[in-house]
Amino acid sequence: MSTLKPFSKIPELNSANVLLVENEEQFQKKLADVIVNAEKDVSVGVRLARRLPLPVENEETRPCIDLVVFIINLSFERSFQSVELSLKYVDPGFFLGKVCFLVTGARCWSVSSDRLQSVRKLATSLRCPLLYAEDQTVEGVNTAAARLLRVLKVTAGLTPWATGLSLSTLTRCTLSSDLEGDFD
Amino acid sequence: MSKTMSKSHNVSEAESCIHGAANRSSRRSERRRADVEDPFGRALEYFSQVKAGTPVKGNDALENNLVLVERVALGRGLPPGAVATLLDFALSLRLGSSVCSRVLKFLIPASAVPQDSVVRGVSWFCMGKMPVSAQILFLRWILTMFDLIDSKDQLRSIYGFIFSFVTDEVLSPYVCHLLYLLTTKEHVQPFRVRKLLEVQAKMGRQPPLTQLLALYKVLCPEMIAISMPSKTRGGFKNHNLPWKTALAAVLKKNKTAEAPSPPLSLDIKEKASTRKRKLHHLEVPQLSCGPEIESSRGKAVHLQQLRSFAQLLQNLDNIELPAQMGSLLSSSLALHYLDCVHDESALLRLNFWLGSVLHEEFLFCSRDGNPENSTEPSQFLDICLSLPQECFSSSEFFLFKFLAMWDGSLHQPQILSLLSDIPPLPVSRMKMFLFEPLQQLYFTSSVFFKCGVIECLRSMLWKWLTWHFVQTSHKELDVSLSSSRTMNLHMSEFLELVTELVQYVGRLASAGLQLENYHILLHHQTLNFYELVCDVYLKFNLPLFLLPPSGVIFPSLLATDPVTVDRLGYVIFRYRQNLMSAKEHKQQKKEPSFHISRDVFREFNLLMVAVVSCLWISKDCQVDVGTDVHKALVPLRTMLSYCKNYNLIHHPAFLNYAIEFHQKCWPEQTNVDLSSIQGKKYWYWYLEFLFSQGFDGLKDFIQNNMDHQSTPVGGH
């Protein structure tokens, strides 16, 4: 039981590591495959976890994590709760630009808008970016992977002129009031 | 309600009188069948004559006849006479409600539904004997078949009877929908409005009721004082599920049986022949109509019947719109007609229809739907894009919702073009619903998406400016192009909005350029945007001068690509022209309202000094970046030495031109010394040489800003 720390490991040259946390383990596998295959220039490592904290056994071999992605499937109530619990095991240093949320199933008719709103509230309060993804189509998975990779390369310091914190400031989620009530 | 057509032996006559020539082939086959003692005719006779109270259970004759008629109905549809007979039989409840709903469910007309039979059905309905489920089924049947009812004048004359059911909680949604389709201006009466408001107070704001009220308000605005929500979520539901597939199949079959006449309308979309999706009804309904219409107010004409433009012009006042407003989308002729007649109620209906379809299809997808089949939704969005009405408020509402959960790639081209159609809205709303979500997408997406966004915002700005220009310069003209997108912004609000948009793009561009390592495509897209912005005063008569931020100017100035520098030169040149003419205008007219801030001139002069000293003077380079960077942060001494390398000769973008020029001047010299070009004579030759390479922007910039006698300082 230990918190995940951003600077506890020394980063390696030309490498970036992303940690995908998803309770349902449906989307992270697909995403990981695409991310690993898409990047050719630097070595990208993808670590998968159902929840935090990560087990202590692998502590030694685990590389320096550059980005933590929490995947929330809105179709499942449990998904959001699990992420909320996991967040406690993330070091505050990560929230300076190294955490982002990925939401799937937002357009699903069975999803109540309250659930989406609570995810938005969470991301806003933590000042993190909130990305939406279409997990059902190949194109949707590719897009999500490309976007994550883009963020990852920034947080890993592989993009000149940009840092994770600056990108996160530009893209962090903002809480808009409900469209329904406000629009009339 | 007088005429009945229940006798089976005169089915063919009754049909021909209603049907005319439209379906001659089926008439002929009917007669042939009658000759050979057809079982279908006998079945109909049975239904018209069967006595009330006949036992249903174990009644083989009934069962056989039902099966026979059902087979015919689902196979090729029922002729009008048969529809009348069966409807009368079913609604009279002679054999109970279960038989009634069974008959209703297969009551698929082959071509048309006689109005009399529907009126008769409504009279059965009004008797109050029918169970609620049968009543609902009947109403849904009417709503589905509405376009096939041959005329509606008698239905309209019993409007009051139908209206009385509005208070019924269960029936109300269906009744409202039916009334919505029937309502004309004469029907809107104070007592009805009062009733509806009463019902609304009792049952809350239900979408069907609200929409009926909204239609009333459009038809008679003076009668309804309460404000209507301009966007109602969800519209009328489609009630056609039990009949949809069968009806479509029958209509299609009959259509191919007839010789197809060439339609006047340009069909945008070919109907997909195979459909597997169940929940979705994204297809644009076909324009369909009853065969012939006689109405009390003269002859009404369906759009579908028009064959030529001359015909359209003749019947311009008598055109009857179909019940399914969505079907108009498939015909550009119909859309242009709508645009030209300014039919508020029709636009309102189309708006509602569009809103509910977009909402259901794109925001409420089912998880188990067929996700790979994405061509259909994008085709539908294409149709939305091609509307001459540009942006309906419902599609704007949908866009904002969709944008908040967009992944940036789904239907990207369509969504971006639809976004550019958004009319000017108050700044706070724009910021919240467009700028914020778009920014979050922009910075995490690829450079091509970034270019797409900048282009989309450019085209949006261009549309706003054009619209504003037309509105202000032709005050005498009525330019409320379509009332659904009236711009209710004051001039000051509009200026504020444009300023906000330009500054927003400035932020996106400068940070985006940095993130993308000054990608050349993004550079050009950005300069494209500023080519529009710099000319706002001269081209659109809007006194607004917004300079690009340093994050755009300096990367463009120091770009390695000559075209970027050239375009920057053009942009600065146009800014100068605009400022100069604004200044002249101010001095001539002395209008108090016309005010240009001194800061604009100061900022522009700083920009000019920076650019000129970089490209021209090279030695006394005083790059003053304005107040953006603290003096202590810029090591001025070291910068000065580099600045020399950015004059037109040593600039990385023009280096190869300089070398080429050098080789032309001194062909025998192998040792290239570029500083020798800086001599007075050669310098001007070099400029001429550059201009001859097509750098017109640079030419405009230099010729208008430089004293021709001056030479770059630091020459020989």
For A117-140, give the DSSP string. HHHHHHHHHTT-BEEEE--SSHHH
Contact B397 A144 (CB under 8 A): no
Q: Report chain B residues whose CB lies below 8 A from the CB of A171.
A: 439-440, 443-444
Mean pLDDT of chain A: 87
Interface contact B367, partner A, CB < 8 A: yes
What is the model's pLDDT at position B389? Answer: 61
Question: What is the token pair recorded at B481?
Answer: 């192009």
CB atoms within 10 A of CB B280: 19
Pairwise pLDDT comparison (A94 vs B32), residue with the higher score: A94
From A2's Cα to the closest Cα of chain B, the distance in A is: 31
What is the model's pLDDT at position B83? Answer: 87
Q: ipTM of the assembly?
A: 0.93
Burial class (CB in 10 A: 0-12, 13-18, 19+), B512: buried
Does residue B527 sit in helix, strand or coil? helix
Q: Report chain A residues whose CB lies below 8 A from the CB of B432.
A: 176-177, 182
Contact B445 A150 (CB under 8 A): yes
Residue B223 amino acid letter: M
Which of A152, A159, A176 to probe by mutation at the B interface, max B CB count within 10 Å? A176
Q: Which of B281, B477, B502, B461 is nearest to B376 (CA)?
A: B281
Q: Report chain B residues whose CB lies below 8 A from the CB of A180.
A: 233
**What is the per-residue DSSP string for B147-163?**
GGBS--HHHHHTHHHHH
Q: Give every strand in the sheet of A130-133, ordered side by side.
A: A43-49, A15-21, A67-73, A99-104, A130-133
Q: C-alpha distances in angstroms, B134 versus B84, B98, B181, B193?
A: 17, 9, 21, 28
Q: Report chain B residues whose CB lies below 8 A from the CB of A137.
A: 371-372, 374, 410
Which of B396, B401, B407 to probe by mutation at the A interface, max A CB count within 10 Å? B407
Chain B from 609 to 638: CB within 8 A of any A CB: none
Q: Report chain B residues whose CB lies below 8 A from the CB of A183.
A: 231, 397, 400, 429
From A150's Cα to the closest Cα of chain B, the distance in A is: 7
What is the model's pLDDT at position B2? Answer: 39
- The pairing of strands B301-302 and A130-133 is unpaired
What is the model's pLDDT at position B512? Answer: 94
From A91's Cα to the closest Cα of chain B, the distance in A is: 24
Which of A128, A143, A154, A175 to probe by mutation at the B interface, max B CB count within 10 Å? A143
What is the model's pLDDT at position B641? Answer: 61
Interface contact A181, partner B, CB < 8 A: no
Residue environment code for B632-653, b if the CB has 16+ CB neighbours within 10 A, otherwise e: eeeeeeeeeeebbebbbbbbeb
Q: Which of B407, B409, B436 sits opposite A174 (nearest CB)?
A: B436
Hey, what domains does chain A have and what are their CATH numbers? 15-183 (3.40.50.300)
From A152's Cα to the closest Cα of chain B, the distance in A is: 10
Q: Which of A106, A162, A177 sits opposite B514 (nearest CB)?
A: A162
Chain B from 483 to 522: CB within 8 A of any A CB: 511, 514-515, 517
Q: Report chain A residues whose CB lies below 8 A from the CB of B397.
A: 179, 183
Q: Round to whole Å and give the CA distance between A81 and A24.
A: 12
Q: Which of B362, B367, B433 sits opposite A105 (nearest CB)?
A: B367
* Whether the Cβ atoms of residue B488 and residue B424 lie closer than 8 Å to each other: no
CB atoms within 10 A of CB B225: 9
Which of B359, B429, B443 to probe by mutation at the A interface, max A CB count within 10 Å? B443
Structure confidence by residue, pLDDT tens digits, A118-171: 899 999 999 999 999 988 888 899 999 999 999 999 999 998 888 999 999 999
Does residue B87 sit in helix, strand or coil? helix
Interface contact B363, partner A, CB < 8 A: yes
Q: Which residues fall within 8 angstroms of residue B461, CB to CB, at 6 or more apart?
A: B498, B501, B502, B529, B532, B533
| Helix residue ranges per DSSP H, B77-157 | 80-91, 97-105, 115-126, 132-145, 153-157
**What is the per-residue DSSP string for B551-616?**
HHHHHHHT-SSHHHHHHHHHHHHHHHHHHHHHHHHHHHH--SS----HHHHHHHHHHHHHHHIIII
Contact B366 A154 (CB under 8 A): no
What is the model's pLDDT at position B242? Answer: 67
Count of CB pairs separated by less than 8 Å, A with B: 105
For chain A, give percent helix, strand, coil, nearest 5: 40, 20, 40
CB atoms within 10 A of CB A125: 10
Contact A176 B432 (CB under 8 A): yes
What is the model's pLDDT at position B7? Answer: 39
Q: Report chain A residues whose CB lies below 8 A from the CB of B517.
A: 159-161
Residue B493 amino acid letter: E
Q: Which of A140, A171, A179 sits opposite B400 (nearest CB)?
A: A179
What is the model's pLDDT at position B29? Answer: 53
Interface contact A10, partner B, CB < 8 A: no
pLDDT band at A179 (very low <50, low <70, confident <90, very high): low
Question: What is the token pair recorded at B643?
Answer: 């600045």
Compare all CA atoms of chain B with the CA of A145 and give the residue at the minimum distance.
Answer: B445
What is the model's pLDDT at position B608? Answer: 86
Residues of chain B with pLDDT under 50: 1-24, 33, 35, 230-234, 258-282, 288-298, 368-372, 479-486, 619-621, 625-627, 709, 713-716
Reported as half-sphere exposure (CB side, CA atoms, 13 A), residue B686 has a value of: 29
Give residue for tokens 């997406």.
B445
Which of A171, A179, A180, A182 to probe by mutation at the B interface, max B CB count within 10 Å? A179
Percent with pLDDT over 70 in chain A: 92
| Helix residue ranges per DSSP H, B435-483 | 436-444, 447-473
